[in-house]
Chain A
Amino acid sequence: MRYSFIKPRKKTLISPEFKLLFFFFTITIGMLFMSYSYLKVKTLMYETTIEERLAKGETLRTNIVSMHDEIAFIEVQKQHAEGVYTSNTVLKESIHNLFDLVPEKITLSQAILKENELELYGVTPSKEVYEFLLLAPLRSIFHRSYTSYYAMPNGWYSFVSKNYLDREISTQ
Chain B
Amino acid sequence: MKLHISRQMIYILALAIVFLVIVFIFAFAFLIPSGKEYRVARMESKKISYQVDAVQAEYDNVYERLKGLQAENRHVVSAYKTIFNPDRFKKMHRSHFESFSLSELSGHSLDGEFAVYEVNTSSLIHSPQGFYDFLDAVNKSDNIIGVNFPIHFERDANLIKSSFTMHVYIARKKSGKEDEGEGSDK
Q: What residues make up the interface of B, taking CB atoms closer than 8 Å to A?
A: 8-9, 11-12, 15-16, 19, 22-23, 26-27, 30-31, 34-35, 37-38, 41-42, 44-45, 48-49, 51-52, 55-56, 58-59, 62-63, 65-66, 69-70, 73, 76-77, 79-80, 111-114, 128, 131-132, 135-136, 138-139, 144-147, 149-155, 169, 171, 173, 175, 177-178, 180-181, 184-185
Within 8 A of B (CB), among A30-86: 32-33, 35-36, 39-40, 42-43, 46-47, 49-50, 53-54, 56-57, 59-61, 63-64, 66-71, 73-78, 80-81, 84-85
Q: Does A113 contact B (CB under 8 A)?
A: yes
Q: What residues make up the interface of A, taking CB atoms closer than 8 Å to B?
A: 15, 17-18, 21, 25, 28-29, 32-33, 35-36, 39-40, 42-43, 46-47, 49-50, 53-54, 56-57, 59-61, 63-64, 66-71, 73-78, 80-81, 84-85, 87-89, 91-92, 95-96, 99, 107-115
Q: Roughly how many angstroms separate A62 CA and B65 CA in the complex, as a whole number?
A: 16
Q: Roughly how many angstroms separate A28 CA and B184 CA in the complex, as a whole number?
A: 51
Given the known interface contacts A21-B16, A50-B48, A95-B128, the answer about A43 and B152 at a Cβ–Cβ threshold of 8 Å is no
Q: Roughly how many angstroms separate A42 CA and B45 CA in the complex, as a whole number?
A: 11
Residue from B41, B79, B132 whose CB has the most chain A CB atoms within 10 Å: B41
Residues of A within 8 A of B58 (CB): 60, 64
